[in-house]
Amino acid sequence: RRALRGVARRRTPAASFAGDPEEYVKGVLKRAQERKSGHHVMRMFDGRIISVSESAIAEGWVATLEDVTAQHQAELDRNKDERERDKFLDAADRYELLPALDRWVLCSAIDALRAQGHSLAELPYCFTVNVSAASIAGGKYSSFALEQIALAGLPAAAFCFEIREAAAVNHLQAAEQFI
């Protein structure tokens, strides 16, 4: 107990521990006494983020610490990218640009795959293209897609069109026609 308190107190001024050392020691001792494994994250004064896993073992208690600052930052960046993408798609929807965006995505995919030609039919996978509810509701996207794929000389089986369940349910007849 005294050693654990000493470690926490020494780490506080060194900016490698953020929080109340006494509360930290009480929590560790309580979990150890109850033989409860646990996991928590500590934010350090210097900005680092440390993942702590604690486990009871036959002869006592073990705690594993890992600096997860880089992983945390990557997750924040990924979430920021998703929020930006969502803002873009919301604006495209608001200004009724999703059908044009869907057509552009398909044409871009076709352009990227055109050089592969009929060898795509021999591949054991397909290329997935998301289609918005607005394109499904418009009823013209399926004929556009088939026409563009045929004009490029690509096999239709090389493409898989992904429709959200809500879009399919809300526009059932158009979705059935598309499928």
pLDDT digits (tens, 9 = 90+) for 27-70: 777 877 787 787 878 777 777 888 888 887 777 778 788 889 89
pLDDT higher at 25 or 165: 165
> Where would I find the H helices in the chain?
2-11, 21-34, 69-94, 98-113, 133-138, 141-151, 165-170, 172-178
* pTM of structure: 0.56
